[in-house]
Amino acid sequence: MSEEIKEMPDNPMERDKYIPEKFNVLGKRGNKRIDGLRKASGKAVYTRDIVLPGMLYMRIYTSPYPNARIKTMDTSRAEALPGVRGVLRYDDPEVYNRRIPTLMGGEEDILAGYAYFQGQPMGAVVVADTEDIADEALQLIEIEWEKRPFYLNPKDALAPDAQLARPEWFPESNLLPLFFQPTNVFAHGDVRKGFEEADRIIEFDGSRNYHGCPDAEMISGITKWEEDCAELWLHQQHVYEHKWMMNQWFGIPMSRVKINAPYNGGMFGGWNWIDYSMVPQYISALMAKRLGKPVKWLLNRRDDFTFGSLDSMQSEFRVGFKNDGNITAVQLKSYFENLSYEPGLHFLENTKIPNIESEMYVAQVNKGPTHAIRCEQLPPSFALILVFNHVAAELEMEPTELALINDGVDGEDINSLNEFKKEHGFPVRDSLKECIEKGKEAIGWDEKYHPPGTKKLPNGKMHGIGFIWDHEWDETRGAGMAAVIIQQDGTVNVIATRSDVGVNAESTYCAVVAEELGIRYEDVLLRQQDDVHLPLMTPDGSCNLTTNSYVMKKAAKKAKRQLLELATSTIHLIERDVPPAFPGLATDELDVENSVVYVKNNPSVNKPVADVVRDVQGSFINKHPYAGTQNTTHTPVYAMAYHRQGRLGKESGRQRLCRQAHFCEVEVDTETGDVEVTRVVNVNDVGKALCPEAVEGQQYGGTYMGVGRNRSEEHIWDPATGVLLNGNLIDYKFSTFLDVGPIDTIIVETGMGLGAYGTVGIGEDVGTDTTYLLHGAIHNAIGKWVDHGPITPDKVLKALNKA
C-alpha cells in the first residue's frame, strides 16, 4: 500500500497512476450534499450573520470623486455623534503614509489621503455601536478636496498629454507595469511569415466593458483580540494567508492567529484578490485593539462595486489563414484597464496556429482595481473565440470544422498532443471531436445551422445558432493538507479547513475518502478545522479537487494502512495481550468495502470497521465494549497527508488535453435589438466527474453568469463626473431565471485531466467561455458582427444601422 501512495505523481504533467478499476462512491449520483440541508434551511452561517458579544461596527468613508486628494478633513462632528466609539483618520500616526502587504505579494495604502476612483474606501473609518450610527457619522465628515482630471478610457489615459490618474503610486506615467507576464509582447513563431503564407487576411476589433462581481453576501469581516492572540472571521477563499498577513501586519506569531472560515456567500476569486477586502481586516484589527472590543467591518451593496474583471479590454485583431481553414497567423494589440492577462495565450495552448504575436498595454484609469473574477483567462478566451468566429464566417466554413482543423498545441497539430498523452500515461482520445459530436447532436446542429442572416422565424425574429470551443482551464497546482480519523464506532472524519464557495467540495472530499478507505459515504463527515489550521489548497479556489483529491486520497490510504495493521496486530498490554480482529493474517490479505473489513480470498470472513477499531480494552468498570473513561485506548487510526501539485500549473511543456464546446441558439428582434437565448448546450470534458450533479451545477451556473456578462453586465460611469451610476442590483443586471432558455449539460469523461483520477476543473471553464457565447450566434442570426461586449440592444441596432 505504501507503494501505491508513492505512485501518485508529484509532477503535474503525469497522469494519476492509481485509478481504481471500479468506483463504489465517486462518480455516482445521489451522494447527499453535506452542506445541502443547512443551506436550504437557512441554518448555514456566513460572516455577515455573525454577532459577537460587545461587537462594534466599522464603516469606511468612500471617495465621491474619481481622482482627488484631501486638503483638509474635519471629523469632529462624526466623533461627537452618540454611539461613535472611535474614528481613525488617514493622517493618524498609526496609518499615515503606510502601506501594508496583501495577498499575491501586493500592497495597498492602509487609509489613503487621496482617491483614484469614485467609491474608493479611503480617508477615515468610523467604529460605532451600530452600522447605522457608523454610516450617519460618515456623513458628518467634512472634507476640502483638490480635484484632479480623471480618465475612464485606457487610450485617453495613455495619450501623450494625459495627466496622472494615480500620481501617488505611478508618478511617471499612466502606463502600468505588467503583473502576470514579463513583457508586453508575447510571440510564438513569425507572424510576418504567417501572413505571407496566408491566402486571406482579415482585420477587426473587439472590446469588453468593465464588469464586476457583486457577490451574494456583501463582504465583511471581524477581528477580536484576546491578549496578544488575534481571532478573525473571514469572507475569503484563501483564509490561511490571513495568518501570514496578521504576522506581517502586527508582528505576532502565526501560531497566535485563529482563523474562522464561515460559509462564503459567493466569491468567484474576485474580492479574494482585491486589496480592499484585506485592508479593512487590518483596520478592524487596529481598532479592535484600540477599543478592546471585537470590531466587524462591513461594506454595503454600493461599496461592493469596488472592483471589476480583468477583461476590460479593447483589442485590434489581424488574422491570416488558408482557404482550407488552416490559420497561419494571429496578431493582436490590446489595451487593458488597471490589470491584464495575456490574451494570446490560448492560441498557443489550445491550437496549432504556428505564428502568434500579441502586444498589450495596461493603463491606470480612474476605475477600481481589476482582477480575476471566476478566472483570469477571460482575455485569451475572448480572443480565441472572436478569431474563430470571424475566420469561420469569412471562409463560410462550419465553425466546428474550423475548430477541429486547428486543434493542437504549441503550433503543432493534435498528433503532437497525442504523443504527450502517450508519454505521460494518459488515454489517447480526441477530446474536441468527442465534445463537438455530442454537442451537435444535442442541439440538432446539422438541421439548424444556416448561412448568416437567412432564417427568419414565424415570430418575426431572426434565428441564430452558435458554437464556441476552448480549453479554458487546466491548471493543477498548489499544496494542501488534511487529516482522516476513524472514530471508535467506525465513522470517519475528514479534518480540514472548509472555505466553501459552493462547489460541493466538502462532500466530494468525503466521497474520495469513502472510496479509498472502503467506508460508506454516509459514514464520512468533514469537520471544520479552522483553529490551528489544516489548509486544503485554496479551498474551493481555482484548483480544488484536482489538487485536493490527491490530499484526501493520500490521507485515506494512510488511514487504511493503519486500519489493516490494527486488524492484524496484537496489542500488548501489561497484564494481557489483545488479539487482533483477524489473527494470523497479513494486511495484504484483507480489504475494506462498505465499512466492512474482509478477507480477500474468503469475503464471508469479515468484520465491520467499527469492530476493528473499537476500544481494544473496554470499560473496566461496567464491562461495556466502549469506554469513554480514563482507561480507554481510543482509536489509533489517524492519518495526515500533504500533497503538492506542481508550482503554477502552467509549467512549460505541460499540455492541456481536454476540451470544451458550447452551442447556443438565439432569437434576435431586429426592431428592438433584443437577444433572446433560447437554448444552450454545454459539453465539457472533465476527465472524470467525481460528483456529476456538482459538475452540472457548474455548467448551469457558468452559463447564467456567462450569458449575463455577454449580454448585460457592465459598470456604467458618468463621463462628466466619473461617478459610477449603477452600483446596485437594480441597475446592474446579471442573469435571472428567465434570461436563459433550456440548458443541456453533457459531461465527457476521457480521463485526460491532470488532477487525481484524471479530473480537470470545470468551475471556471463554463462561466469564462460563455461570456463570449453569443457573438457568433448573433452574427449567424443577423449577418452582422457585434464584437463589443456586453451585447446590449443598442449595439445590435447599431450593427443593423438602425441606431
Binding site for another protein (CB under 8 A): 30, 32-33, 35-46, 48-49, 51, 213-218, 263-268, 300-301, 500-504, 693-694, 696-697, 700-705, 728-730, 734-738, 740, 742-743
Euclidean distance between CA atoms 632 and 617, whole angstroms:
6
Rounded to 10°, the helix 431-443/399-406 angle is: 170
Tell me how far, at minimum, the Cβ of 50 lies from another protein, in Å: 9
Tell me how far, at minimum, the Cβ of 729 lies from another protein, in Å: 4
Cell numbers describing residue 461: 425574429
Distance of CA 750 to the CA centre of its chain: 23
Tell me how far, at minimum, the Cβ of 57 lies from another protein, in Å: 12
- Strands in 338-416 per DSSP E: 356-363, 370-371, 408-409, 412-413
Closer CB to another protein, 35 or 611, in the complex: 35
Closer CB to another protein, 489 or 731, in the complex: 731
Tell me how far, at minimum, the Cβ of 522 lies from another protein, in Å: 13
Closer CB to another protein, 398 or 739, in the complex: 739
Closer CB to another protein, 35 or 205, in the complex: 35
State the alpha helices, DSSP H only, in 667-725: 692-711
Closer CB to another protein, 349 or 500, in the complex: 500
CA distances from 680 to 8, 661, 675 (A): 38, 11, 14
Rounded to 10°, the helix 505-517/545-568 angle is: 30
Distance of CA 457 to the CA centre of its chain: 39
Angle at 228 between CA 226 and CA 234, to 5 degrees: 65
Contacts of 400 (CB under 8 A, 6+ apart): 436, 440, 445, 467, 469, 661
Contacts of 618 (CB under 8 A, 6+ apart): 624, 625, 626, 627
Euclidean distance between CA atoms 660 and 670, whole angstroms:
31
Closer CB to another protein, 301 or 450, in the complex: 301
Residue 360 in contact with residue 335, Cβ under 8 Å?
Answer: yes
Closer CB to another protein, 373 or 484, in the complex: 373
Tell me how far, at minimum, the Cβ of 502 lies from another protein, in Å: 3
Closer CB to another protein, 39 or 784, in the complex: 39
Closer CB to another protein, 40 or 457, in the complex: 40
**Which value, in Å, is the radius of gyration of the alpha carbons in the chain?**
29
Tell me how far, at minimum, the Cβ of 41 lies from another protein, in Å: 3
Tell me how far, at minimum, the Cβ of 738 lies from another protein, in Å: 5
Angle at 700 between CA 699 and CA 702, to 5 degrees: 65
Closer CB to another protein, 51 or 716, in the complex: 51
Euclidean distance between CA atoms 58 and 80, whole angstroms:
16
Closer CB to another protein, 106 or 266, in the complex: 266
Other beta carbons within 10 Å of 136: 18
For 291, list phi and psi in degrees, rounded to 5.
Answer: -95, -10
Euclidean distance between CA atoms 203 and 218, whole angstroms:
43
Closer CB to another protein, 343 or 539, in the complex: 539
Which residue do the cell numbers 446596485 mark? 728
Closest to 743 (Cα-Cα) out of 689, 660, 661, 663: 663
Closer CB to another protein, 603 or 742, in the complex: 742
Cell numbers describing residue 564: 489493516
Tell me how far, at minimum, the Cβ of 515 lies from another protein, in Å: 20
Euclidean distance between CA atoms 416 and 420, whole angstroms:
7
Q: Which residues pair with 107 in a beta bridge?
A: 101
Euclidean distance between CA atoms 478 and 422, whole angstroms:
25
Closer CB to another protein, 155 or 301, in the complex: 301
Tell me how far, at minimum, the Cβ of 727 lies from another protein, in Å: 11
Tell me how far, at minimum, the Cβ of 728 lies from another protein, in Å: 6
Distance of CA 544 to the CA centre of its chain: 9
Tell me how far, at minimum, the Cβ of 673 lies from another protein, in Å: 22
Closer CB to another protein, 361 or 772, in the complex: 772
Angle at 138 between CA 130 and CA 132, to 5 degrees: 25
Closer CB to another protein, 507 or 562, in the complex: 507
Pairing mode, strands 412-413 and 408-409: antiparallel
Contacts of 240 (CB under 8 A, 6+ apart): 259, 497, 533, 535
Tell me how far, at minimum, the Cβ of 45 lies from another protein, in Å: 6
Closest to 278 (Cα-Cα) out of 232, 313, 319, 324: 232
Tell me how far, at minimum, the Cβ of 219 lies from another protein, in Å: 12
Tell me how far, at minimum, the Cβ of 790 lies from another protein, in Å: 16
Tell me how far, at minimum, the Cβ of 542 lies from another protein, in Å: 16
Euclidean distance between CA atoms 545 and 534, whole angstroms:
16
Tell me how far, at minimum, the Cβ of 741 lies from another protein, in Å: 10
Closer CB to another protein, 212 or 753, in the complex: 212
| Sign of the alpha-carbon torsion through 548, 549, 554, 556 | positive
Closer CB to another protein, 652 or 736, in the complex: 736
Tell me how far, at minimum, the Cβ of 232 lies from another protein, in Å: 20
State the alpha helices, DSSP H only, in 9-130: 36-40, 76-80
Tell me how far, at minimum, the Cβ of 707 lies from another protein, in Å: 9
Q: Is the bond leading into 214 cis (omega within 30 degrees of zero)?
A: no
Pairing mode, strands 185-188 and 200-208: unpaired
